Amino acid sequence: MNARAARLVPLVAAVAAAACVPRAPALIGSVVPVRIPAAALPPGYHKLVFDFAYRDPDFSLKGDGAARIASPDSMRLDFFVNNEAAGNAVLIGDTLRAANPSVARKLLPPVPFFWAAIGVLHVPPSPDTTARVDGDTLRVEIGTHPAWRATFMGTELLRLDLIDDGRIPQSVMRVPGSPVRYRDAHAHRSLDITVRASDNVPPFDAAIWH
């Protein structure tokens, strides 16, 4: 490979990667005073049982798991593959701890998308916030360069997008009747979560958070 061709390789790779990242649609609807629905954990203690499917260009994994959730800001996840424990993670506020951090970074979404997957809006605050209503859909854009766009139907969080340079490199979609999907367009990876059961439960033993 000559020197000129060698210089072109990273440029071509960067262009190809950008082409895979969808463009962010324009923020449409009527401008309204900023009013973000209270997309937060309900009071008390809850347990979710779910199936998951992870995919990237080099690896795929399917299994099931359980999420133990305590309001206002704590969640413990346990993952199983072929009925054997495959890992766990604890999320408290902005802090994610995992038994195997390198595996967690590969398989799990960043913290704001982690929360969005269960319907909680937890993104960095910003005074640069715009809200628009389009029929029964409310879209709130928080921050700039990058921005977070949250889409609500009523008080239900349906989608969270990270918008960077006019594109959507990462998103979580919560379409009723479908699996919750996290997508990382840059890395071509996705995580689908299908909730099979959701129950209110007694308080958890404090040891699960350690």
Considering only residues 15 and 64, tell me which one the structure prediction assigns the higher pLDDT.
Answer: 64
Model pTM score: 0.86
> How far apart, in whole angstroms, are the C-alpha atoms of residue 87 and residue 102?
11
- pLDDT at position 105 is 80
Going by pLDDT thresholds of 50, 70 and 90, the confidence category of residue 12 is very low
For 6-45, give the DSSP string.
HHHHHHHHHHHHHHHSPBPPP--SEEE--------PPSSE
Find the mean pLDDT for residues 6-23.
52
The answer to whether residue 4 scores a pLDDT higher than 70 is no
Consecutive H or E run containing 198: strand 189-200
The answer to whether residue 120 scores a pLDDT higher than 70 is yes
Consecutive H or E run containing 133: strand 129-134
* Cβ count near 169 (within 10 Å): 21
- pLDDT at position 5 is 43
Nearest residue to 172 via CA among 187, 193, 186, 155: 193
35 CB-side CA count, 13 A: 9
Find the mean pLDDT for residues 119-130.
91
Summary mean pLDDT of the chain:
88
Going along the chain from its start, the domains and CATH numbers come out as 3-209 (2.50.20)
The answer to whether residue 85 scores a pLDDT higher than 70 is yes
